[in-house]
Amino acid sequence: MRFRPSPAFLCAAMLVASPLPAGAWGAQGHQIINGAAIAALPPSVPAFLRSPAAHDEVELLGPEPDRMKGGGAPLDDDASPGHYVDALDDDTIDGIPLSALPKDRRAYDAALHAAREPSDQYAQGYLPYSIADGWEQIVRDLAYWRVDTVAATKASTEAERTFFAYDRSVREAVTLHDIGVWGHFVADASQPLHVTVHFNGWNSAHYPNPAGFSDSHTVHARWETALVRAVATEPLVLARVPAVATSDAPILAQVGAYLTTTESFVPAVYKLEAAGGIDGHSPAATNLVLDRLAAGATEMRNLIVEAWAASDDQKVGYPGIAVRDVESGAVVPTRAGVGLGD
């Protein structure tokens, strides 16, 4: 089992590095990523996701999972590993390729227990599943919103139409909350030091370090918090977000590819640290940190667009009515039909 310092140790090290609050990307980085993702959404998604109020709410919720830290056991022990994954330099997690992630956390945990160096999801981190599970939740949110939207005008009685209009307003609030909190984990996965065993110093006591990179326990906070606060703003990051590019690949395949790309920048962060670029806010350090923030915003924006498209293929309620059948007029929704009939 690989060494990962306790949360208390990390917090102490980060505070030595900077008086700024510590957290994944820091609060400013998470707000920038969430805000830029919403600002970059295309007109093809519902207007409630693109409003100024939606932007401000989702932006504010970016740091939310970090703000919940400190709740005690079992919350902290259960939730903290959802923010990271300890990938090796060969793009595997204890031998599990990022490109072939197991189908769910149960299978992931079983694979880790069966690895050459037996471990578990709480030691290695389960960030990929924080992203995939959260994305599927948003797909469900949007599926119910679609049904509410139709039923608010097409339900068979005025009472039902009034109910569905109200349910839609609640669903919009729930969806924005879910997107805001989920965006935190998408952002974590664009931060190279959240997807590596070298998460706060090169960890040369346990792994080869032929380049002689720093093993300082201040690198993490200097990169993701102090540098971001010095050089990053939402407009600068938004300018680096490209046009929408969606994928038909399964969500875990997309997440694995995203994490693999992020992990490839780990040596670059340490080279910048060695050259004094992180502390000196060099052009190279500025470009890399802005690019990684933009990568987080891009992934989050693209996955929201994909979630909207995927929501059309869902069934809601139990035993389930197809969203497409509701939108085509083949089925008229009722409260009972969407799971509220008991």
pLDDT at 253: 98
Mean pLDDT over 204-230 rounds to: 96
Tens-digit pLDDT profile for residues 310-339: 999 999 998 899 999 999 999 999 999 999
| Of residues 171, 231, 185, the one with CA closest to residue 61 | 185
- 286 has pLDDT over 50: yes
pLDDT at 43: 98
Mean pLDDT over 280-305 rounds to: 98
pLDDT at 319: 86
Give the whole-number percent of the chain exceeding pLDDT 90: 91
Alpha carbon distance 121, 10 (integer Å)? 19
Tens-digit pLDDT profile for residues 115-148: 999 999 999 999 999 999 999 999 999 999 999 9
CATH architecture of 7-309: Orthogonal Bundle (1.10)
Tens-digit pLDDT profile for residues 28-83: 999 999 999 999 999 999 999 999 999 999 999 999 999 999 999 999 999 999 99
Q: What is the mean pLDDT of the chain?
A: 93
Output the CA angle 122-125-131, nearest 5 degrees. 125
Domain positions in the chain: 7-309
Alpha helices in the chain (DSSP H): 7-17, 26-39, 52-61, 64-67, 75-79, 105-113, 121-124, 127-154, 158-188, 219-221, 227-231, 234-238, 251-263, 266-274, 277-280, 283-311, 323-328
Tens-digit pLDDT profile for residues 140-195: 999 999 999 999 999 999 999 999 999 999 999 999 999 999 999 999 999 999 99
- 6 has pLDDT over 80: no
> Residue 115 carries which DSSP code?
S
